[in-house]
Amino acid sequence: MLQEFDIWKLLAGLGIFMFGMFLMEESIRKLSGRAFKRLIREYTTGKIKSILSGVFVTSILQSSSAVSLMVLAFVGAGIMTMENAIGVILGSNLGTTVTAWIVATIGFKVNIESFALPLIGSGGLGIIFLGKSEKYSNISKLLVGFGFLFMGLDYMKSSVEGFTSQFDLTTLPDYGILAYLGIGILLTAIMQSSSATMAIILTTLNAGIIAFDAAAAMVIGANVGTTVTILLGAIGAVQVKKRVAYSHFAFNLTTGIVALILLPVLTFVVLRVFDASEDAVVGLALFHTLFNFIGVVVFFPFIHLFANLLTKVFPDRKTELTLFISNTTPEVAEAGITAIRQESLHLVENVLRHNLSLLNIDQKLVFSNYDQNMPKRLRKGHSPVYIYEHLKLLQAEILTFAAKVQTHEQSTAESDELNRYLHATRMALHSAKSFKDIKHDFDEFENADNVFLNEQYTQFRKRLVETYLKIDKLIAENEHDKTKDILTILKMLKEDDKLFVSLTTQAINSKQLEDLNVSTAIIVNRAFVQSSRQILLAIRELVLTTEESDQFEKIQEISEMLMENE
């Protein structure tokens, strides 16, 4: 009997089905992603609207995970409240039942080959001949995905046909409803797709391998299992992501428990009241929608209480980014301005750390006070993107505090001093951004097959360490001629810049560089030098007095004139 069961055909069918789902989700998201994001953002001003938006968007996208990610982004940005986010998640669970209806009503009712092959053929030709147009390419992928969806289903159906023709349902052991519930959870957790699990359940039900109540229990399990993906994504995540993940889990778990308790009643309603006993696959799709709808009805009155509970369980933890202004009152201008200067130096140091991390340089090689003035959450284990975002938040807190200081009385000298410090924070952040924008170029240099680019990557790292060692010494030493130090560093940057241009010219003449690499190398070097100059300008504003800064400007002008005349 087992010889009639083609396991490889079943697995191939499952793979084709899941690939079809992937193509459909990807193409629909690219075709209408912005429109759906706008819909979720603008039409979630109330609980009922939120639920309806979740139903509509998920029924089109056929991916509750994609909708959950949109919700997460909007809640994190403060565009959507937690209550409305829960509403969208409730609706997304109802919207995702559309897959079962499509498979049950079309997949088991029509000649799949006559339906799927034209879709795959026309879509495949469209990808080849219309691939230059993003719009038509995605439409073609949608057709191919839809075709693969049903072709995979057909493979799964045919793989068990020979087996079921000789199969006696009475010989199957009665494992019990809870066992089938566990199988549904396990399958969905492994495949990361409740739609794929639904396809398997509908196929086995249609073939008569399992009874309706067992299939219904597996569907309930699939509903709970689909939360595994988002729960795994919430491990170690920010608090708002945990709230969204656990709201999804709590809703699906509660709905599953209610559906399991009411299973005999729901089965009776589907098979007898709606008379679906003659068409079990449609009956199962109806059961899937019915118990999710009941879950929404049960959960709806408690959305507000649940949102408050999640906020208490996962409260916002404000990252303490500031070291000085948080302990200073803005009412006293002199104290406030001094605190802003110290905080701006703190920002400069963290920008230096950020830039070093982009070139994978150990900060201990540069800083004499490594890890002392850096917030714990920014020290280790975080990506440069994460650190850059927190640099922007730190600058924002400095600017906010400065605005409060400016509302109080201050002298002209104090006002000028404050403006210089704020200019320093802008220059410091510009330095971080200039460096961040060429991070991918540095990565290409490091991994390139070109020897010259490999060598220059090493030289960029060496130049950065040498520059930042001098800057660290400049900041750390109090009694020193800082004007001379800054000018010395600027002179070194110019010399390094000239050397790079000279080496690049030699590489071009010796055919070591292609035209595209030449352009990239020049741009990267310019941004590198600009970033270093920007951080020096920030330091100049913070460590020199107004008089020293004016003298610096004059000396620099004279120096540049002399260099031009050479």
Return d(Cα 187, Cα 182) in angstroms, integer: 9
CATH fit for domain 325-565, picks 2.40.128, 1.20.58, 1.10.1740, 2.115.10: 1.20.58
CA distance 168 to 241: 48
Q: What DSSP string describes 21-56? A: HHHHHHHHHHHHHHHHHHHHHHS-SSHHHHHHHHHH
In the chain, what are the domain boundaries?
2-313, 325-565
> CA 147, CA 398: separation in Å to the nearest integer?
56
Give dist(CA 349, CA 391) in Å, integer.
11
* The token pair that represents 349 in the structure block: 């140091």
Copy the structure tokens of residue 232.
Answer: 């795994």
C-alpha–C-alpha distance, residues 475 and 542, integer Å = 9
> How many angstroms from the chain centroid is the CA of residue 477?
42
- Non-local (6+) Cβ contacts of 539 within 8 A are 348, 424, 471, 474, 475, 486
Q: Which residues of 195-233 are buried (b: 16+ CB within 10 A; e: fewer)?
A: bbbbbbbbbbbbbebbbbbbbbbbbbbbbbbbbbbbeeb
Q: What is the pLDDT of residue 22?
A: 78
CA distances from 431 to 189, 453, 500, 533 (A): 45, 23, 20, 8
Cβ neighbours for 168, distance < 8 A, ≥ 6 positions apart: none
Could you tell me which of 168, 125, 171, 115 has the C-alpha nearest to residue 146?
115
**For position 375, what pLDDT does the model report?**
47
Output the six-digit token pair for 57.
């968007």
Tell me which H or E stretch contains 334: helix 333-358
CA 85-88-89 angle, 5° bins: 90
HEC string for 516-563: HHHHHHHHHHHHHHHHHHHHHHHHHHHHCCHHHHHHHHHHHHHHHHHH
> Rounded distance, CA 323 to CA 330, Å?
15
Q: Are 146 and 119 in contact (CB under 8 A)?
A: yes
Q: Report which of 25, 58, 39 is spatially closest to residue 296, judged by C-alpha positions.
A: 58
- pLDDT at site 135: 82
Residues of the chain with pLDDT under 70: 1-6, 25, 28-29, 31-44, 61-66, 69-70, 72-74, 76-79, 107-115, 157, 159-174, 192, 229-230, 233-238, 241, 276-277, 316-320, 368-383, 478-480, 516, 550, 552, 554-566
Read off the pTM.
0.55
Q: Which of 103, 92, 87 is nearest to 60 (CA)?
A: 92
**What one-letter code names the amino acid at 455?**
E
Crossing angle of helices 64-76 and 239-261, rounded to 10°: 140
- What pLDDT shows up at residue 43? 65
